[in-house]
Structure 1
Amino acid sequence: MPFLNYDRLFDSITELVMHHSPSGMETEVDRLIMQKFADLGVEAWLDEAGNAIAKIPGIDSSYSLAITAHKDEIGAIVKNITPEGRVEVQRLGGAFPWVYGEGVVDLLGDRATISGILSFGSRHVSHQSPQKVYQEEKALKWEDVWIETKCTSQQLETAGIRPGTRVVVGKHRKQPIRLQDYIGSYTLDNKASVAILLALAERLQNPPVDVYLVASAKEEVGAIGALYFTQQQKIDVLIALEICPLSSEYPIDDGEAPVLLSQDSYGIYDERLNLQLQEVAQSANIPLQMAILNSFGSDASIAMKFGHVAKAACLAFPTQNTHGYEIAHLGAIANCCHLLSLFCQTRM
């Protein structure tokens, strides 16, 4: 039997995915997370940087462990609105327009949300049209696309659409899909990890040390929330929950086995902490893979690089199509939760 019921886990991730949370405008998902913590009866708060934090008091409060899962998602940000009402955008986090394709996006205005169509231009054209080169010669970039809302610039202004407005995939396109024991969805990075935090909040009681469960803010734009939290709160051990990209360059198998990172673009993780996690996994017969990643960073590696924590690790679940329409095995997500639940009960 899986540690977490797959149906319940799928539903938990789905609920989180369907709450927008572009970096820096995470209020919609904040309300949900804080309500979940309140329903579980755990002490929780939002800090000044926008992190949603739950504290599980330990027997020994002189030592502390934090587990982070960032709640923000990638997307786009409005750069300009033409007099005709065409919306021009640039990326927010590691987003690429060709990943989303032409389709509905939501513009989260100050006073109203307006849906529009991410547009690339027509295909029935010759080399006289600028769109022709994207069919044959060059990659599509954000400066080449626009959003059609069919609103006037005044209507957009009334809704509070302006430079700085966040843009995310439209909600009706976000609904996750179940593929046997897999889940397919936008923003599994990192809503699936937030679902793990909620499951841990439900299961952890009287751990040996204080445990902080942190749904961190603005990770996709520099781990801003985690850096603030680890600067304000002394943490002895930090573990980040993340996705792990499946690619031929990495020795990672798809399926139920989580991945423990040894190194990413920001540096190495703590080897002794990794060994402790491996020992817990081995004793519980939880499959575990090891990897080194490129073009990747986590709350943990960034916080350790800047000297905010002495010991950090990153536990992840293998994921296809990262930063796109992602696919992951529910068993790998459940096993991440199982491993961390056991680890939180060990003496450090």
Structure 2
Amino acid sequence: MPNTELYEHLYNEIAQLVMCHSPSGAEREINECLLDRLAALGIDHWQDDADNIVARIPGTGEGAIAITAHKDEIGGIVKDIEPDGRILVRRLGGSYPWIYGEGVVDFLGDHETLSGILSFGSRHVSHESAQKVQQEGKAVTWETAWVETKRSLSALEQAGIRPGTRMVVGKHRKQPYRLGDYIASYTLDNKASVAILLALAEGINTPAKTIYLVFSAKEEVGAIGALYFSHRNRLDALIALEICPLSAEYPIQANDAPVLLSQDKYGLYDEDLNQQLLQAAQARACPIQQAIISGFGSDASIAMTFGHVPKAACLSFPTHNTHGYEIAHLGAIAHCIDILTQYCNDL
């Protein structure tokens, strides 16, 4: 498939996935989409007790490999609701209010999804107003922000909005934007990796080892889904698909070359497994970068740290503005598909 056609296909695929709300622990929308997609492919799949969606491609021999892409996204969680309908929110995962800015956010109520306006207060104020400090170099925090709903307490209650309700950036603000060969969007972490797993479900044929494609739950709050799965299934290795932060402190270029990690804050990745992935990249003539990063963890490194798997790797795509309005090269995402397809079919 020519790059232009491939990139368009990937863009459209990711755009569909991004529009499925999936804050950690409230992942119903993306679950329904994935179950429909896997059923259409005719692949063996199920939803486990930890809310993972798992697809299984049987191997011709012994052993099993898991490849994960977490399906949850960061956001907020309701702490309290004031008498005038104003909602107080706290972080869910690595979210910051200044990333979203003032604008529409969605609350996934028990009975209905309702929208409100994330608010930081008026700017035409003096030091008598608490929000004045936000104009003088101090970042806005969840504790100093709120959401205006202009709804009554009874209306919010009827919708099932309560302490614990999840909040995400409004759906009408989520539509991705195309920047040439790049895609820009909220929640590329990790909906772009979910798109990679769906492509692998179509492209892997009769591997030597059984392949589990795990659309993992609640990664942003502790890799809970991956830990549950890796604890209950005997695996030879676990490979996580992830974003890779672009920053001056890391020797990573913003291009179509995926990044293979050697270390993150949870520890070392397996060098032998990394060599196998590098060989797969070479066999497909795919460019690849290597790096160690600090403020980061993945399903794979966390599972290996807990002793659930003997080997772990993380294959990622370079991303601007991680945990914000992210930007990634569609070619890097496509090359992740190529590398993992080659690796799995050559097991």
Work out whether residues 3 and 335 of structure 1, in 8 Å CA contact, stay in contact via their aligned partners in 2.
Answer: no
Tell me by how many angstroms 1:4 deviates.
Answer: 7.8
TM-score by length of 1: 0.98
User: Counterparts of 1:123-134 in structure 2 under 5 Å?
Assistant: 123-134=123-134
Q: Distance in 1 between matches of 2:327 and 2:180?
A: 11
Q: What's 2:167 paired with?
A: 167
User: Counterparts of 1:262-277 in structure 2 under 5 Å?
Assistant: 262-277=262-277
Q: What's 2:194 paired with?
A: 194
Work out whether residues 2 and 334 of structure 1, in 8 Å CA contact, stay in contact via their aligned partners in 2.
Answer: no
Work out whether residues 3 and 334 of structure 1, in 8 Å CA contact, stay in contact via their aligned partners in 2.
Answer: no
Tell me by how many angstroms 1:237 deviates.
Answer: 1.0
- Pairs aligned (count): 346
Letter in 2 for 1:11: N
Q: Distance in 1 between matches of 2:3 and 2:205?
A: 20
Letter in 1 for 2:35: M
Letter in 2 for 1:15: Q
Q: Distance in 2 between matches of 1:137 and 1:128?
A: 17
CA root-mean-square deviation: 1.0
User: Measured at CA, do residues 39 and 3 of structure 1 come closer, stay the same or move farther in structure 2, by a change above 3 Å?
Assistant: farther
Provide Cα deviations, 1:26-80, integer angstroms capped at 9, x if missing partner: 01100000111011110000000000000011111x2111100000000000000
Q: What's 2:95 paired with?
A: 95
Residue 158 of structure 1 pairs with residue 158 of structure 2? yes
User: Counterparts of 1:10-159 in structure 2 under 5 Å?
Assistant: 10-60=11-61, 62-159=62-159
Work out whether residues 3 and 338 of structure 1, in 8 Å CA contact, stay in contact via their aligned partners in 2.
Answer: no
SS of alignment partner, residue 34 of structure 1: helix
Q: Distance in 1 between matches of 2:237 and 2:326?
A: 29
Provide Cα deviations, 1:201-247, integer angstroms capped at 9, x if missing partner: 01112111100000000000000000000011111111000000000
SS of alignment partner, residue 255 of structure 1: coil
Letter in 2 for 1:85: G
Letter in 2 for 1:314: C
Q: Distance in 2 between matches of 1:224 and 1:78?
A: 21
User: Counterparts of 1:174-193 in structure 2 under 5 Å?
Assistant: 174-193=174-193
Work out whether residues 67 and 239 of structure 2, in 8 Å CA contact, stay in contact via their aligned partners in 1.
Answer: yes
Work out whether residues 264 and 296 of structure 1, in 8 Å CA contact, stay in contact via their aligned partners in 2.
Answer: yes
Q: Distance in 2 between matches of 1:15 and 1:315?
A: 23
Work out whether residues 120 and 145 of structure 1, in 8 Å CA contact, stay in contact via their aligned partners in 2.
Answer: yes
SS of alignment partner, residue 130 of structure 2: coil
Work out whether residues 196 and 333 of structure 1, in 8 Å CA contact, stay in contact via their aligned partners in 2.
Answer: yes
Q: What's 2:316 paired with?
A: 316
Query: Any gaps of 5 or more consecutive residues in structure 1?
Result: none
Tell me by how many angstroms 1:283 deviates.
Answer: 2.6
Work out whether residues 260 and 274 of structure 1, in 8 Å CA contact, stay in contact via their aligned partners in 2.
Answer: yes
SS of alignment partner, residue 229 of structure 1: helix
Work out whether residues 84 and 150 of structure 2, in 8 Å CA contact, stay in contact via their aligned partners in 1.
Answer: no
SS of alignment partner, residue 345 of structure 2: coil
Tell me by how many angstroms 1:137 deviates.
Answer: 3.4
User: Measured at CA, do residues 20 and 244 of structure 1 come closer, stay the same or move farther in structure 2, by a change above 3 Å?
Assistant: same
Work out whether residues 38 and 55 of structure 2, in 8 Å CA contact, stay in contact via their aligned partners in 1.
Answer: yes
Q: What's 2:279 paired with?
A: 279
Letter in 1 for 2:225: G
Q: Distance in 2 between matches of 1:4 and 1:229?
A: 35
Work out whether residues 77 and 164 of structure 1, in 8 Å CA contact, stay in contact via their aligned partners in 2.
Answer: yes
Q: Distance in 1 between matches of 2:35 and 2:222?
A: 23
Letter in 2 for 1:312: A
TM-score by length of 2: 0.98
Work out whether residues 266 and 305 of structure 1, in 8 Å CA contact, stay in contact via their aligned partners in 2.
Answer: yes
Tell me by how many angstroms 1:3 deviates.
Answer: 11
Q: Segments of 4+ in structure 1 off by > 2 A? A: 1-4
Q: Distance in 1 between matches of 2:121 and 2:93?
A: 24
Tell me by how many angstroms 1:276 deviates.
Answer: 1.1
Work out whether residues 265 and 295 of structure 1, in 8 Å CA contact, stay in contact via their aligned partners in 2.
Answer: yes
